[in-house]
Structure 1
Amino acid sequence: MRPCVHVLFFVWLLTCPCGTHEQEEEEEEEYEYILEVPPEEDSDDRPSEDAKPSPRALLCPKDCKCTQEGVVDCAGVDLREFPIELPEFTNHLSLQNNQIEEIPPEDLTRLYRLETLNLQNNRLTSRGLSDDLFEQLENLSYLYLANNKLTLAPRFLPSSLISADFAANYITKLYGMTFGHKPHLRSVYLHNNKLTDAGLPEDIFNSSRNVEILILSSNFLKYVPKNLPPALNKLHLRNNKLEKIPVEAFSNLSDLRELYLQNNLLTNEGMSNETFGKLARLEYLDLSSNNLMHIPGGLPRNIVILHLEKNNIRSISKDVLTQIRNLEYLLLHNNKLRARGMHPDAFLGLKKLHTVHMYNNLLEKVPAGLPRRVKTLMLLHNQISSISKNDFATTYFLEDLNLSYNKIMSSTVHRDAFRKLRLLKTLEMSGNSLKSVPYGLPRNLEILKLKENDISSVPHDTLSGLSKLKELYLSNNKLKINSVYTGAWVELSSLQLLDLSGNLLSYVPPDLPESLEYLYLQSNKIVTISDNAFDSTPNIKRIFLRFNLLTPETVKESAFHGLEKLQVLDIESNLALPKVSKKKVVEKEKEEEEEEEEEEDRRR
């Protein structure tokens, strides 16, 4: 963690709580919308400059903004009624974030040029909207009614409609003409409503074949709607009650690229090998948080990202994945996989697969036959007890390996286990049962995390050759000063962050590298800081020494002289608070504030 303070300070005098309190919030459906505005009308349709504007054309409601181009913005002005003093040439009307409950038909239908109508975040009810309210607006292309109190979708909408957003209402029913016979319709947002299968017409998109985006997530659907538009590109059905998917459900969706089915009740029995067979262009498939026992068969070969996490998958057969030749991301975490349930050839031929997540499973060892070109491999939170010589013998391209929170012991890590990982940049083995730093660490490592083990020694040469290492985490172990071989730290010529907090150190480690910028030594047993403790670290920016055994007599202010880049010195919560020069702190703060002001002036 990086401290939140950017000014030099001594916590001997000042206390700065920099932690943040994270609050969990209920996950909500989130989608990106673009309030699309069509191009301006041709000049031939506009009134000439000499034409005299009518009284209606000169009106603009109080607190609203109106332009000569027909844009009226009344967003967030606490309107309780639909404004009547609107210019007759209005083509884009923004009324979102108000408290409107109903719309009188005569007030809206006179706006015959209206193309975009935004009514999001109001208090509109179905009773407050007549069945044919929007039908008379023959130029209306974009209608936004999300976050209101509608229980029924509008019965009739104009054929000119391009995009409709009715998300986050209480809609239980759609009508045949709600979205039917709309040749220009491209996107429909209906997520976070109360739709059931009975509330959908048999042919919901009759003669509306060009819909590309359909969002039906967070409703109460048990079945995939029938007769979906063949032009669909994105289909969201997450957070419903789907139990099975008929073979023909997606048979006409040859252009579908993204399919979201997570958080349903799907089982393997509810699908067949032909369920996804016709989705030739599918690139993104999310089947996470269902009740799958194994990976479905017949998945399209063009899938790039496959989400299967949070199921009950226990095994991977030989040929269930091998046909997905474009697969790059495979997410299998939070399942019940065991190494013996994975066929050695399960990943054979997947040359593009570079990211595999298998954390929070029941793996008792590293699975055989890992993808040869994998770059990121997440195996944390399993039951792995050993790392053998050939576990990673074929994963030459691996860059990020996480083996944290398993049951690995120092005696079960082979000295040559990592010999082939010449490109490895990050290795994490925190939360295991290691008693010493492993041998044979890859020379290209940049980040090494060994936190929360039982490490009591850093054997000779275990850190030798790690000239590219930038961050080393050894916190919450059992290290003492004499348990680290002489010269270990100075060999790490690129090290910027060293975390030795929560150990048994009695003083600041000697021979720290010149490159060091962040040093964490809190929660040790340090009793003294010598005058030359930081002579070798002129680039140090932040030093953390709280919760040690320091006293005013064992710490001299001169120990920190010459550290011109030092921003944070945290020595709070020791035996006593030493007296240091507040003048120096204030001067440094003032100097840095002036530098920041100068930099801001240059940017301006």
Structure 2
Amino acid sequence: MQLWPGAFSVLLIVVNYTWTRVSATPPINPKCKVVQKTAQYSGCELRSVPSELPEETEELFLNNNRIEFLINSSFAPYSYLKKLSCSGNRMTSLHSNVFSKNSQLHTLNLGNNLLYTHYKQTAQALSALTSLRNLDVSGNVLTEDMAALFVQNLTNLEILSLSHNILMRLDESVFSRLHSLRELNLERNLLYEIEEDAFHGLANLQVLNIAFNQLPCIVDFHLTSVVHLNLSHNAIEWFLSSQNQEEAFQLETLDLSVNRLLFFPLLPHHSHIKNLLLSGNQLAFRETTENGSSSKSSSMLQFVFLNGTVINISSTYLWEETLQRDISSLNVLDMTYNCLTHLPKGFIKKMTALTGLLLGHNTLESLDFIPSEIPVSLQDLDLSDNDLSNLKQSFPDLPPHLQVFNLSLNGLQHFPRQIFSGLSKIKLVDLSFNHLGICSFNDKNSTNCVAWNDINSLQFLYLRGCDLKEIPTNAFSGSPIAHLELSDNQGILLPKSSLQGLSQTLVYLGLRNTSFTDVDFSVFQKLKFLDISVNCLTQIPNSVLRIHLSQLNLRDNKLTAIDLTQTKVLSRKVNAVLLGGNPFNCCSLDWWHFLQRQNSTCILDRTDVKCIHSTLNQGDIHVDLFLSSHCNKRDGESIWLYVLLFLPICLTFVCAGVVFILSFNPRLLPRFIKRRCRSSVPY
């Protein structure tokens, strides 16, 4: 074939153009795609806004790319854009007219960038978005002055997030023009002061989050429109609502957990509060006399404001005002992890709508309230980790609608035997780490045990660490318990008849650290979760492999290997297993390799499964990293050991044979010597 020079040149041009097109086309990232009117371009290593998108695009996601700035022409082709997210980039600025063509944009996320660098230029770009409803500029190292500049013209803004910035002090100039704002997120800043008029004009504000800041107190709280207020993880010692506010407060959820509260918060006179979260403070009630007044001498509390203003309030007045506030609408009261030693008389009685009372992790020594004080509506009662060891038999009758009752970690020794028999809705009871036994039918008047039969609604029962020695016959008959926790009861005896009533209901059984013996698990046909960890098992009980389990916990036992026959059954009947903490033999891992090949049983703690090799001085070795050649090398060394042992015996037999031959043929030796020497020596 002959090519003309002209044709050859044309061919080179075509090949070069094709190669240039192919090499210039970037590889297609499967994460970068357009679905209907939404363009998903997050994590695509972009350095600029893509220009080839459809003009009718309404939602554009550019999160976690490498975009450093947005120029004026970036979004000009997308006039229908309504939602834009550019969080997690490296943006330092937005050009002043970048959104000039995007009048329909209502949601903008610019979080986790570096917009503090050229904040004035960025503020000018944002001022064009007069229709913006939702703005997120969190994580941009913004001060309060920068934030005020960002939102000064966004009068239609409804949701604003300024979290993870460095705001320190708020005054009325920051949010003064945001009359439509409904949600404001200020968490994880450095706020230490909020002036009285800082939120003046935010008549529609309903959700306010100021968690994880440095606020020392809240005095004269008067935000009547706020429904959910989160003030957790600050340094608040006092929460005092406005005394002269006549308008009803809409506050429903007040979160003051993990602060430094010394007194119960002084709530608004007219409120609809439903959830009051006070966990992790230093709350302690003052003792009161029969008429309700403080038994201790009055002391003055002095409030010193940063502007120099000083207010003195009597502690007696403050306490009496606290007890007189209307809290009848309260549904959940969480006072866990405080310093409570008692509850004032009449305090609980005022909470007529209470469904959850959480008093765990305090120092309560007694419950002095009478049965009529407990709200009938109460469903969840948590008294765990207190000092109620001397709880008498006159314990008040539990409310009829109680569903969850936690008395764990109290050291109880005396308890009403039939306390749960009259509760028709009780679902969960936790008496762990007390000293209460399980009553049998013969225990009619005992006060150191609890009867668990015929509680028709009971589903979850926790009896960890109760020093139980034996479960009586038919101890749970008539109670449809699905979750039974008996762990940390060393040496507990479980006769077949003791759990017979749970054969058709039990789903979870915990026997961790019990040293149990002779338990037939096959009777529990609905059992799905079994914890027999921290025992001294050298093999898996055969009855375990007669049922289908979702999870089997065998951690921290004495298993050195698993029988291959059991392994085959295990792979068929157990979906997930925990095996860490067992001293498996590195040279007996056939069962492990079988499980890996089958891939039907998930080993949840695979990284913790290790084995021991007798000759390798490496401690525990991860089973996946162990080389089977180490076992072969050990076998080869044992063969040489046997050779060395048998060598002297072999040499003995050879010498004996030589002597035997020479004794029957004495001329053989002189002829042999003569032949070897080849000459005679004269005497």
Whether these two folds match at TM > 0.5 is: yes
Structure-1 separation of matches of 2:549 and 2:122:
67
Structure-2 separation of matches of 1:230 and 1:256:
7
Structure-1 separation of matches of 2:600 and 2:436:
51
Deviation string 1:518-569 (CA, Å, 9 cap, x unpaired) is 7969589xxxxxxxxxxxxxxxxxxxxx624779xxx684996799546679
Determine the structure 2 residue equivalent to 1:473.
510
Residues 252/588 of structure 1: CA separation in 2 closer, same or farther (3 Å cut): same
Moved more, 77-86 or 173-182: 173-182
Structure-1 separation of matches of 2:597 and 2:128:
71
Task: Give the secondary-structure state (helix, strand or coil) at the position aligned to 1:179.
Answer: coil
**The one of 161, 168, 171 aligned to 2:164:** 168
Residue identity in the other structure for 2:406: M
Residues 507/100 of structure 1: CA separation in 2 closer, same or farther (3 Å cut): closer
Is 1:293–2:284 an aligned residue pair?
Answer: yes
Determine the structure 2 residue equivalent to 1:279.
271
Give 1:498 deviation, angstroms.
4.8
Task: Give the secondary-structure state (helix, strand or coil) at the position aligned to 2:502.
Answer: coil
Instruction: Tell whether the 8 Å contact from 1:222 to 1:240 is kept in structure 2 after alignment.
Output: yes
Give 1:573 deviation, angstroms.
4.0
Q: Which has the higher contact order (CA 8 A, sep 6+)?
A: 1
Give 1:192 deviation, angstroms.
1.1
Q: Which has the higher strand share?
A: 2
After TM superposition, the structure 1 = structure 2 runs for residues 399-548 of structure 1, keeping only pairs within 5 Å, are 399-408=427-436, 417-419=451-453, 421-438=455-472, 440-443=475-478, 444-458=480-494, 461-467=497-503, 468-481=505-518, 492=524, 494-503=526-535, 515=547, 517=549, 547-548=558-559
Instruction: Tell whether the 8 Å contact from 1:480 to 1:506 is kept in structure 2 after alignment.
Output: no
Give 1:208 deviation, angstroms.
2.9
Gap regions ≥5 residues in structure 1: 1-59, 525-545, 593-604
After TM superposition, the structure 1 = structure 2 runs for residues 189-588 of structure 1, keeping only pairs within 5 Å, are 189-197=185-193, 200-224=194-218, 228-248=222-242, 252=247, 254-268=249-263, 271-272=265-266, 275-280=267-272, 282-294=273-285, 297=323, 298=325, 300-338=327-365, 340-345=366-371, 348=374, 350-364=375-389, 368-408=396-436, 417-419=451-453, 421-438=455-472, 440-443=475-478, 444-458=480-494, 461-467=497-503, 468-481=505-518, 492=524, 494-503=526-535, 515=547, 517=549, 547-548=558-559, 557=565, 565=573, 573=583
Instruction: Tell whether the 8 Å contact from 2:60 to 2:83 is kept in structure 1 after alignment.
Output: yes
Residues 584/225 of structure 1: CA separation in 2 closer, same or farther (3 Å cut): closer
Structure-2 separation of matches of 1:225 and 1:79:
44
Determine the structure 2 residue equivalent to 1:39.
none
Instruction: Tell whether the 8 Å contact from 2:412 to 2:434 is kept in structure 1 after alignment.
Output: yes
**The one of 141, 160, 171 aligned to 2:133:** 141
Residues 109/122 of structure 1: CA separation in 2 closer, same or farther (3 Å cut): same
Residues 500/67 of structure 1: CA separation in 2 closer, same or farther (3 Å cut): same
Task: Give the secondary-structure state (helix, strand or coil) at the position aligned to 1:176.
Answer: coil
Residue identity in the other structure for 1:465: G
Deviation string 1:263-304 (CA, Å, 9 cap, x unpaired) is 222222x644xx243212x22221111211149633522222
* TM-score of the aligned structures, taking structure 2 as reference length: 0.62
Structure-2 separation of matches of 1:323 and 1:361:
23
**Larger radius of gyration, structure 1 or 2?**
2
Is 1:81–2:118 an aligned residue pair?
Answer: no
Task: Give the secondary-structure state (helix, strand or coil) at the position aligned to 2:174.
Answer: helix
Task: Give the secondary-structure state (helix, strand or coil) at the position aligned to 1:300.
Answer: coil
Instruction: Tell whether the 8 Å contact from 2:436 to 2:450 is kept in structure 1 after alignment.
Output: no
Moved more, 427-436 or 570-579: 570-579
Residue identity in the other structure for 1:436: E
Residues 379/317 of structure 1: CA separation in 2 closer, same or farther (3 Å cut): same
Q: Percent identity?
A: 19
Q: Which has the higher helix share?
A: 2
Residues 563/174 of structure 1: CA separation in 2 closer, same or farther (3 Å cut): closer
Give 1:235 deviation, angstroms.
1.4
Instruction: Tell whether the 8 Å contact from 1:347 to 1:370 is kept in structure 2 after alignment.
Output: no
Gap regions ≥5 residues in structure 2: 1-47, 287-321, 440-445, 603-683
Residue identity in the other structure for 2:407: L
Structure-2 separation of matches of 1:379 and 1:499:
23
Structure-2 separation of matches of 1:176 and 1:284:
29
Structure-2 separation of matches of 1:390 and 1:163:
54
Structure-2 separation of matches of 1:563 and 1:109:
63
Instruction: Tell whether the 8 Å contact from 1:475 to 1:502 is kept in structure 2 after alignment.
Output: yes
Residues 171/423 of structure 1: CA separation in 2 closer, same or farther (3 Å cut): same
Give 1:591 deviation, angstroms.
13
Instruction: Tell whether the 8 Å contact from 1:233 to 1:257 is kept in structure 2 after alignment.
Output: yes
Residues 205/583 of structure 1: CA separation in 2 closer, same or farther (3 Å cut): closer
Give 1:588 deviation, angstroms.
5.1
Give 1:510 deviation, angstroms.
7.5
Structure-2 separation of matches of 1:170 and 1:383:
47
Residues 212/577 of structure 1: CA separation in 2 closer, same or farther (3 Å cut): same
Deviation string 1:113-172 (CA, Å, 9 cap, x unpaired) is 553332111012176236963445433332221111101222423322222111110012
Q: How many residues align?
A: 497
Instruction: Tell whether the 8 Å contact from 1:355 to 1:376 is kept in structure 2 after alignment.
Output: yes
Moved more, 322-331 or 145-154: 322-331
Determine the structure 2 residue equivalent to 1:596.
none
Residues 317/64 of structure 1: CA separation in 2 closer, same or farther (3 Å cut): farther
* TM-score of the aligned structures, taking structure 1 as reference length: 0.70
Give 1:205 deviation, angstroms.
3.1
Deviation string 1:438-473 (CA, Å, 9 cap, x unpaired) is 563353222222111123433573224333333332
Instruction: Tell whether the 8 Å contact from 2:438 to 2:452 is kept in structure 1 after alignment.
Output: no
Structure-1 separation of matches of 2:555 and 2:98:
70
Give 1:209 deviation, angstroms.
0.9
Structure-2 separation of matches of 1:109 and 1:431:
68
Instruction: Tell whether the 8 Å contact from 1:161 to 1:185 is kept in structure 2 after alignment.
Output: yes
Instruction: Tell whether the 8 Å contact from 2:96 to 2:122 is kept in structure 1 after alignment.
Output: no
Give 1:406 deviation, angstroms.
2.6
Give 1:184 deviation, angstroms.
2.0
Moved more, 143-152 or 303-312: 303-312
Give 1:401 deviation, angstroms.
1.0
Structure-2 separation of matches of 1:560 and 1:374:
46
Determine the structure 2 residue equivalent to 1:43.
none
